Amino acid sequence: MAQTADLECCDLTKDFDNFRAVDHVNFVVPQGSFFSILGPSGCGKTTLLRMIAGFQFPTSGDLLIKGQSMIGVSPNKRPISMVFQHLALFPMMNIERNIGFGLRQRGVPSSEIKTRVGRVLERVGLPGIQDRQIGQLSGGQKQRVAIARCMVLEPDVLLLDEPLGALDLKLREHMKIELKTLQAEFNTTFVYITHDQSEALVMSDSIAVMNKGKFDQIGTAKELYYEPANSFVAGFVGDANRFEGKVTALNGQIVSLITDAGITIQGQATTQVPTIGQHAQIFVRPEVIQLSKDPVPNKENQNSIKRVVNNVLFNGANSMVILCDPKSGEKIQVTLPQKGAFLELDKGDTVYTSWKPTQARCFTSEVH
Amino acid sequence: MVSDRSKLGFYLLLAPLLLWLVTLIILPHIGLFIVSISEKVGVREYEIGLGNYAVFFNEPLYWRTFARTAFMSISTTVLTLLLGFPIAYYIAKLTRGRTKTTLFLMCLIPFWVSELVRTFGWMILLRETGVLSSFLQYTGVIGGPVEFLYNDGAIMVGLVYTSILFMIVPLVTTLDSLDDSLIEAGYDLGGSGWSILREIVIPHAMPGIVSGCIVVFMLSLGNYLTPILLGGKDSLWFTGLIYTQFITRFNWELGSAFGFLLLGLSSTIVFFGLKLSRQSLSDTMGR
Amino acid sequence: MKFGLVSTTTLVVALAASSVSSETLRLLTWGGYAPDDVITMFEAEFDHSVEVTTSNNEEMIAKLRATNGGGFDLAQPSQDRIASAQEEFGIYKPIDMSRVDSAQFIPSMLGATATNTTFDGQVFGLPHVWGTSGLVVNTAKASQVVDYIDLCDESIAGNVSYRLKRPTLIGFAYAMGLEPFAAYSDLEAYQSILDQVEETLVACKANVKTYWDGGDEIKNLLRSGEVLAAMAWDTGGWQLNEDNADITFVAPASGALGWIDTFVLPSRGRADTAAYDWINFVMRPDVAAIITNTAGNFTAANGGDEGVNADLKARYQGSFDQAAIDNIKWYPPVPAGLEALEGATLDRISASN
């Protein structure tokens, strides 16, 4: 039997005066993994994190760390550390006193604090900055000091509350990789919450997608991307073109629907197959859509449609083209391969799009 | 040209302030200083000298009164800080929106009436036939009427009451600016309430504490009505001495010297207070 | 209360010459000496208007000193404080007797005041209101208090109040068998009297509930019963007597201290005509009676006591028999420099424990 999970939530629920912020959430985070909770703002992820940290108390359910229930345990007694959204470094202390704060509270002798602070600073790649003030650090350095301040306490679980949000884009990209490296280095369980899907996809071993207080899906980045459990996950994780319409035909898992604009398209329903006449949505990732200058023979339900180029969004390897349906004006986004015939594509050109129904996902529309 | 014109604008904007400073502060003080260095040698005869200042140091009565005033003012300041800090913390950190405004207003309400009325209010409460004495007799805590007025305790009560707002306002402002997440981070890292107060909250609030203390100390030291009315026969207060010299003794020379000594000595005390708390005046007042 | 020098200069605008008949009289006086109905009558009869500022002896002198005798057209300090203030600060101008209807004054008081307020051969004061300070006693509970020194009696410890001002020093000196007025001219002898009084008052401090400062304060203390005996003005005692028959003014065995409040003209007053008009107006017997009924004290107006209400007369007679009247110690003018000695004594009493 594997060792006990570092963090486990059982039916964790939090009710506020007039709404339920966290709704029967269950998950298990094994030791040493990088677990992300991904969701839009207001989905309840912050409340969940604050319950784990101990700043809020669940209405019902249980929360276990290393098999120990944390209900009724105050934040300063939990074997957890948290990196706050704005890092919450203490501006009234220098780096050494900041990092040593937790050790001082535990009554560690000052000589030992000194060596441990020095060691953790080396591990985060900032040796010898003990005497500096917080204001003298760059954004990325502050980030690492905040992690060092937690890691020096050797917590069982490190919580991170969107710590990259305040950084500029370039540094954020860099820190994503660095965080992952640090996590591997310390081999500590990280629980990371974010609304930025790319942060979650890049760093995590496992991701939970949270929506309206519930976990819609827990899985690896690949699973979420390619096998979304519902329309929310499909729409939230990664980019996707969404089509909505009435189901007209079924062929096993392949669903045909006619959009409001009158176009018939097909996609694969992997979870629940809708019935004819029901409203459904089909999600198509921009990179699975094929472009061609000539009409594609529509023999295998290739969803071949003629479209007009509305706009070209050049971004190197990530370039996109916005296409417009000449009849309905409906727009879709397609990845633009930076090679071959489509380099010269320009506004007003006519192209044909197609995709395999098995690469598109169909979900029943939620009843409103 | 441009810089000349902007300079002109700068001086024009500065003019009212300068005018105010010069006519209402600097000129009277110069006059006061000239009076303070005039020694009276006969009827309408004066000569220049520091005799009036020497009187202060040679007559134990005067410097003892100053020492007593300073000591009581410092005690008042400490007491006001101890009382005001929890109130300010509660207002700044534990309340939100409307409750916060209401509480803040409640602190302000006593200041809508004049100091005289407030002090008389305390006299009604504390006097022998007053509310407190009657209540304690009614509840049987004390057997006969007790005089709570006319002692140092009554002076302290009055001074703390008069000055607590001036402690709470800067404290609320600085505590408001303390990010809640710093306190949470403190807890998260294993801190106890006491250690967080000591290592995070108080260092952060230090400028507010110091500016509040300076204001309260100066207000108490310069207060006249409260010690005189509530202190009764033991109400020896330095400003009272100055008043007496000016009004009942017709000794403006000594009164002026006392005024300058009060200014100098209180500034010295504030200076040492700042040194002791390792704050600078620009830090605390610049907020 | 704010400290700081009141601006040392006043703007003297050349308005004084503009009109003779219509002037604004800026009157610096005691509470009760210029009742509203008297002002209304005055303003109706003359073309002047009146602005009243109420004050006390020390503040009057301090105010006039601050402005070098400006800001007011008529002031009313006590007669014993005029000559020395004039000598030190030169804040008054002499009285022009030709503009005063001297027949309206009781001749003996007019003469005595003139003598006491003469400086450099010129007269500076006219008598207006007179009264005494002595003891106000709750006779039901502290009838043993018959002289100032009795305030230090153990039987009424904690229920005593007096002012920490010069009349207290003088009253106690008389009660101790000393002659302070006789020693006015001899600073050394006066200092020795002060030293003895100081010792007594320091010892007496434990007996005192509080030193009172204003007339309303002492009346409150007596009315509530917190104070049973006090050194205070006669009018205060008589006013309390109206509400509580037990409390009244008692002329002390060693003699009540008599004061006369005067009219003086500040040296830079601008409305002399109005000032003389006011003096002649309020000294009419009928107007003087109105003032007596308001202030509670009798005036130096000839026949002024005729219109006074009977109750007040009865209280006055109850407190003063002929012997007590003869025994009143009238304040002689205070020589310059005496107040400095008294001030030091008062400071030491105040600081003692």
Q: What is the DSSP string of C41-92?
A: HHHHHSS-EEEEEE--HHHHHHHHHHTTS-S-SEE--BGGGHHHHHHHH--E
Instruction: Select from B32, B44, B150 the Cβ nearest to the Cβ of C210.
Output: B150
The reply to whether B120 touches chain C by the CB within 8 Å rule is no
How far is Cα of residue C206 from the mean position of the Cα atoms in its chain? Answer: 28
Domain coordinates in residue numbering, chain B: 1-36, 52-285
Decide if domain B52-285 falls under CATH 1.10.3720.10: yes
The reply to whether B191 touches chain A by the CB within 8 Å rule is yes
Q: What is the pLDDT of residues C85-128, one digit of tens each?
A: 898 889 999 999 999 999 999 999 999 999 999 999 999 999 99
Task: Please state the rounded mean pLDDT for residues C273-289.
Answer: 94
pLDDT at C49 over 50: yes
Whole-angstrom distance, CA of residue A154 vs CA of residue A142: 19
The reply to whether B203 touches chain A by the CB within 8 Å rule is yes
Residue A2 maps to a domain: no
Q: Is the ipTM of this complex over 0.90?
A: no
Percentage of residues in chain C having pLDDT higher than 70: 94
Q: Do C9 and B245 form a contact (C-beta atoms < 8 A)? A: no
Q: What is the pLDDT of residues A190-223, one digit of tens each?
A: 999 999 888 899 899 999 999 999 999 999 999 9
State the best of A52, A101, A134 to mutate against chain B, taking most chain B CBs within 10 Å: A101
Buried b (16+ CB within 10 A) or exposed e, B95-106: eeeeebeebbee
Listed residues A232, A261, A277: the one ending a domain = A232
Position B274: which residue type? Answer: L
Indicate yes or no: CB of B188 within 8 angstroms of CB of A53: yes
pTM beyond cutoff 0.90: no
Q: How many A/B residue pairs have CB atoms within 8 Å?
A: 64
Task: Tell me, yes or no, whether A66 and A187 share the same domain.
Answer: yes
DSSP B24: I
pLDDT at C153 over 90: yes
Whole-angstrom distance, CA of residue C229 vs CA of residue C152: 10
Task: Tell me, yes or no, whether A249 and A122 share the same domain.
Answer: no
Structure confidence at residue C301 as a pLDDT band (50, 70, 90): very high
Partners of C218 on chain B (C-beta within 8 Å) are none
Closest residue on chain B to C349 (Cα)? B233
Whole-angstrom distance, CA of residue B263 vs CA of residue B257: 10
Q: How many CA atoms lie within 13 A of C156 on its CB side?
A: 27
Whole-angstrom distance, CA of residue C220 vs CA of residue C240: 9
Tokens of C295: 């202030």
Task: Tell me, yes or no, whether A52 and A196 share the same domain.
Answer: yes
Domain harbouring A272, CATH code: 2.40.50.140
Q: How many CA atoms lie within 13 A of B145 on its CB side?
A: 15
Domain count for chain A: 2
Task: Tell me, yes or no, whether A211 and A246 share the same domain.
Answer: no
Residue A201 maps to a domain: yes
Residue A280 maps to a domain: yes
Q: What is the DSSP string of B96-160?
A: -HHHHHHHHHHHHGGGGS-HHHHHHHHHHHHSTTSHHHHHHHHTTSSSS----SSSHHHHHHHHH
Closest residue on chain A to B198 (Cα)? A92
Whole-angstrom distance, CA of residue B167 vs CA of residue B174: 11
Listed residues A179, A200, A232: the one ending a domain = A232
Task: Please state the rounded mean pLDDT for residues A77-91.
Answer: 92
Indicate yes or no: CB of C58 within 8 angstroms of CB of B248: yes
Task: Map out the domains of chain C with their CATH numbers.
Answer: 24-130+260-323 (3.40.190.10), 131-258+330-351 (3.40.190.10)
Task: Tell me, yes or no, whether A226 and A247 share the same domain.
Answer: no
Residue A1 maps to a domain: no
Q: Residue A1: its pLDDT value, please?
A: 40
Chain B closest-CA separation from residue A80 CA (Å): 7
Q: Residue B233: its pLDDT value, please?
A: 81
Task: Tell me, yes or no, whether A246 and A154 share the same domain.
Answer: no
Listed residues A232, A263, A294: the one ending a domain = A232
Q: What is the pLDDT of residues A308-336, one digit of tens each?
A: 898 888 888 788 889 988 877 788 889 88
pLDDT at A148 over 50: yes
Q: Which chains touch C (3 or more CB pairs under 8 A)?
A: B
Indicate yes or no: CB of C347 within 8 angstroms of CB of B127: no
Whole-angstrom distance, CA of residue B168 vs CA of residue B84: 6
Task: Tell me, yes or no, whether A257 and A343 share the same domain.
Answer: yes
Q: Which residue segment(s) compose the domain that A21 sits in?
A: 7-232
Whole-angstrom distance, CA of residue B115 vs CA of residue C1: 10
Q: Residue A300: its pLDDT value, please?
A: 62
Tokens of A88: 């919450």
Task: Tell me, yes or no, whether A283 and A172 share the same domain.
Answer: no
Q: How many CA atoms lie within 13 A of A297 on its CB side?
A: 2
Residue A360 maps to a domain: yes
Q: Name residue C261's beta-bridge partners.
A: C78, C129
How far is Cα of residue A132 from the mean position of the Cα atoms in its chain? Answer: 34
For chain B, which residues score pLDDT lower than 50?
none
Q: Do C241 and C315 form a contact (C-beta atoms < 8 A)? A: yes
Q: Residue B2: its pLDDT value, please?
A: 56
Structure confidence at residue A295 as a pLDDT band (50, 70, 90): confident
Indicate yes or no: CB of A92 within 8 angstroms of CB of B204: yes
Chain B closest-CA separation from residue C216 CA (Å): 13
Sequence-distant (6+) residues with CB within 8 A of A246 are: A257, A258, A277, A278, A279, A280
Partners of A153 on chain B (C-beta within 8 Å) are 189-190
Task: Tell me, yes or no, whether A156 and A248 share the same domain.
Answer: no
